[in-house]
Structure 1
């Protein structure tokens, strides 16, 4: 994470979530379906009513401390100023936050701006949106390459047994015997389930300090508890595995 930005989560990571069900044990990550009908736009609360319908300049100080990068503007969409966003998660993952957030935080080079999301919808494998202050296609085209952030507080709420990947990064991992195994550095999606990538201090062949990693499948047989308040995950996993 750099400056006050939360940084990119990578493809298929922004809002993947874990869910318990009769078919999936605790910790199994599943995808949430997203409305595919392109003709249905999700209109946000009118920003005009709050007097914040236009794009505004921001600074590092005014940038949300909980901003999470969720995608990048890749093109204009249509002739009326809509933008097309490639989410850092497949459609159905990162789209949730992009569709629900009332304000998008925009970083283009070193320039920071924010804009209200007036309307947004899924379109094929991307998200398209109408932003306040973007009135025509030329303005939308000029925004290509802009990184899109959403305040973590605007992410859709999850059930008690569900987790956003961004909330797992940095948590301590201990086994059931209380041995510290390291910290979650990243999450990996192998198609069948998610995997915790854990980093811990070690030594290289010459005895110099180094960083090692271990991979633990995020499935119920191994992951026993996730305590976000204590910032700790307990796993059934030996230190010498």
Structure 2
């Protein structure tokens, strides 16, 4: 095991055992779901630190992905790895276009609002939600914001999200602060 590494990004989670030969179910956070299989090594984030692993077998099934890890050859060993996050080096992620961002880049950014000629601070992005139609920013007010409300702002470029400035750690939105 190695110490925690700050350049890791979670891309999935080991969620449960499959069968008796050490196979493990995977919940992928990537899109499409099987993109998680393109990364190597995986870093398993355990309570004892992070550990690099290579998968030595996988199957994409109708109800999700299952993997086999070297040395994990029975159900009891696999059970010890359930609820463990799978991370990869950030440098392995593909480059995105100018107006595309990974969720981990948006979490923690301050949200500034410009609506009907008024400007205010709405808070900080706590997380993002996937709704099917579009992603949603969960913005939580703090001591620096207009109020302490939690707001759900659709991540719709040029309609509600006007700009993202990673260097300044800010997102500019156009959102009715009453919502």
Measured against the shorter chain, the TM-score band is: 0.7 to 0.9
Maintained 8 Å contact 2:111/2:172: yes
* More off after superposition, 98-107 vs 154-163: 154-163
Deviation >3 Å, runs of 4+: 76-79, 91-95, 107-112, 117-121, 137-140, 238-241
Aligned-partner SS, 2:78:
helix
Aligned-partner SS, 1:179:
strand
Q: Displacement of 1:225 after TM fit? A: 1.2
Q: Is structure 2 residue 13 aligned with structure 1 residue 75?
A: no
Q: Match of 2:140?
A: 199
Cα distance change of structure 1 residues 163 and 73 upon mapping to structure 2, 3 Å threshold? same
Could you tell me which of 140, 147, 151 is aligned with 2:84?
147
CA-atom RMSD, angstroms?
3.0
Maintained 8 Å contact 2:137/2:154: yes
More strand by share: 2
Q: Displacement of 1:194 after TM fit? A: 1.6
CA distance in 2, matches of 1:125, 1:160: 34
Aligned-partner SS, 2:42:
strand
Q: Match of 1:189?
A: 130
Q: Match of 1:216?
A: 153
Q: Is structure 2 residue 167 aligned with structure 1 residue 229?
A: yes
Count of equivalent residues? 170
Cα distance change of structure 1 residues 217 and 138 upon mapping to structure 2, 3 Å threshold? closer
Q: Displacement of 1:223 after TM fit? A: 0.9
Q: Match of 2:121?
A: 180
Relative to the length of structure 1, the TM-score reads 0.58
Maintained 8 Å contact 1:175/1:236: yes
Q: Displacement of 1:147 after TM fit? A: 0.6
Which structure is higher in RCO with an 8 Å CA cutoff and minimum separation 6? 1
Relative to the length of structure 2, the TM-score reads 0.74
Pairing 1:55-204 to 2, within 5 Å after superposition: 57-58=1-2, 61=3, 63-69=4-10, 70-76=12-18, 79=21, 81-87=22-28, 89=29, 92-93=31-32, 95-96=34-35, 98-110=36-48, 112-120=50-58, 122-131=60-69, 133-134=70-71, 136-138=73-75, 141-151=78-88, 152-176=90-114, 178-201=119-142
Maintained 8 Å contact 1:77/1:84: no
Any unmatched runs of 5+ in structure 1? 1-56, 203-209
Any unmatched runs of 5+ in structure 2? none
Q: Displacement of 1:233 after TM fit? A: 1.0
Q: Displacement of 1:178 after TM fit? A: 4.6
